[in-house]
Chains A and B, each alone.
Chain A
Amino acid sequence: MNAVSVRGLRKSYGSAEAVRGIDFEIRTGEVFGLLGPNGAGKTTTIEILEGYRERSGGDVEVLGVDPQRGGRAWRERLGVVLQSSSLYPNLTVRETVRTFGGYYERPRDVDEVVELIGLAEKAGSRVRTLSGGQKRRLDLGLALVGDPELIFLDEPTTGFDPGARRTAWETIRNLRSLGKTILLTTHYLDEAEQLADRVAVLRAGEIVREGKPSELTAASALTEIRFRRNGTVVVERTPEPTQRLHELIHEFGGTEIEGLEVRRPTLEDVYLELTE
């Protein structure tokens, strides 16, 4: 059963094509990462799935419903974190969660949500006094308060410090273990690598690669070997690293090879290769 299925999705603004016919499917219970540089069409795609924008072409189903016709019952099953934080500055954290919880038929317990997003100590503080990262966590809390099946996260950790990102990742992993389906856009590769079961890389409105993070890195078969020869750094890329190392060991006559590094390509390398 697919939570989301997208076929031949197109979106143009005037003569500019932001999304040029993409296909992907998100299985129930999966974390799917939509990866790409700014302007690749990530937000356009996610906002079409959320029902904010009308598509120019193609078929889209989200939880079995066309988002352009999604009604109240459909919205009960969705959680949304928009790209920019949008909150009432004069409400407290707890009041904000309670307000949004009230829009759902079966909301989660307010204090439980505040606890889950790690803002228990700030529960009585006004939103205007929160840091950017704390506001972002509150955004996540509002996406969870209706206990949704499917959660859209548009760059959920942009602007977080490393500690806050790890905490957010932990929360997202917990959601996954509860059986939630998650669509995540990000331009942080480590985030996609850490969280996503599968990723699609978008470039200029097209999906240029799709698969498990490990498959993506495997698909780029070149391994990088770095070392120093007579003091200068040499970088080589090879499909046969073991063979090449043999040669190098032979060349250096068994002495220590200075600055030797052998590195599998990271998702970042693949990503840069694909998007540049």
Chain B
Amino acid sequence: MTLWLHEFRTEQLLFWRNREAAFFTFLLPVIFFLIFGSVYGKDFIKREHVKASYFLEAGMIGYGVAATCFAGLGISLVVRRESGVLKRIRATPLPPATYILGVLGSTFVVFLIEAALIMGIGRVLFSVPVPRALLSLLFVLALGALAFAAMGLGITGFVRSAEGSSAVINAVYLPMAIISGTFFTPATYPGFLKAIANVLPLTHYTKITRDVMLHNQPFWTDGGSIAVVLAWGAIGAVCAVWRFRWQPREA
């Protein structure tokens, strides 16, 4: 526990010190919320029976979980692996599981702060009410954090170089964020995009967030969507166990 806390503190220090990562994974969803919220936040989305700012806020939680727990986590672990830091850590008595749990704990805290910030901005600037089903909200945040972090760990094994890590991972998650409808409602998409959206975890995750945050439903309302998110999380976890490496690629 002491060791975990030590690693957690180090990870927090490392995250906030790395300005680029902190910007892209932590601040960007907040900034997008501010921009898009100002642009079309006052519109009314008939299909969902809510103001667009309500809709966007829930979407930005989804975008945020993909940015912090999937992209941010994945990129930083690939960079550390290829720079030899992970290998170096394996030479110390720190158990590998404690290290990974420290990294995950820190990532989750970053996401929680981000989610709180998004909801705070929504409340103050766009008068979005704070969701009433708080316990369900916590479950939703935890589900997203765990599933997307598992995918983040899982993708590291498919990225070969530190230089390519942000390119590859951004190429995966940015289109996913757009297609999944974190910014706009996917209901108006053309058929082929809808078909893609329907298999993406973020589409289903965003749906669950909206059920809870906009419609104040308990989080288990849409069991099918939860199953899809969990399935993707499981695929990520399997890939992580199968392909996660501590050592850089041989020169």
A interface residues with partner B (beta carbon < 8 Å): 50, 52, 72-73, 75-76, 78, 80, 82, 84-88, 90-91, 95, 99-100, 102-105, 142, 146
Contact = CB atoms under 8 A, between A and B. Distances in A.
Given A82-B87, A86-B83, A88-B85, A103 B93 contact: yes
Contacts of B83: 86
Contacts of A50: 91
B84 A103 contact: no
B199 to A, nearest CB: 37
Contact of A103 (B14, B87, B94): B94
Classify the interface of chain A: helix, strand, loop or mixed. loop
B177 to A, nearest CB: 27
Contacts of B92: 75, 100, 103-104, 146
Nearest to A77: B93
Contacts of B129: none
Contacts of A142: 88
A125 B89 CA distance: 22
B95 A80 contact: no
A75 B13 contact: no
B17 interface: yes
B247 A103 contact: no
A90 B93 CA distance: 23
Contacts of B85: 86-88
B132 interface: no
B17 A80 contact: no
Nearest to A72: B93
A73 B92 CA distance: 10
A-B CB proximity, top 9 nearest: A86-B84, A90-B17, A80-B91, A103-B92, A103-B94, A75-B93, A102-B6, A86-B88, A72-B93
Contacts of A103: 3, 6, 89, 92-94
Contacts of B87: 52, 82, 86
A52 B84 contact: no
Given A90-B17, A91-B13, A91-B14, A82 B93 contact: no
Contact of A102 (B3, B18, B88, B95): B3
A88 B14 CA distance: 8
A52 B88 contact: no
A103 B88 CA distance: 12
A105 B10 contact: no
Nearest to B94: A103
Given A72-B95, A78-B91, A90-B18, A99 B10 contact: yes
Given A90-B18, A99-B10, A102-B3, A52 B90 contact: yes
Given A84-B84, A86-B85, A86-B87, A104 B93 contact: yes
Contacts of B95: 72
A75 to B, nearest CB: 4
Contacts of A80: 88, 91
A86 B79 CA distance: 11
Contacts of B14: 88, 90-91
A50 B91 CA distance: 7
Nearest to B2: A102
A96 B17 CA distance: 13
B13 A95 contact: yes
A69 to B, nearest CB: 15
A86 B90 CA distance: 12
29 contacts: A52-B87, A52-B90, A52-B247, A73-B93, A75-B91, A76-B93, A80-B91, A82-B84, A86-B83, A86-B87, A87-B88, A88-B14, A90-B17, A91-B14, A91-B17, A95-B13, A99-B6, A100-B92, A102-B7, A102-B10, A103-B6, A103-B89, A103-B92, A103-B93, A104-B92, A104-B93, A105-B93, A146-B92, A146-B93
Interface string B1-39: 001001100100110011000000000000000000000
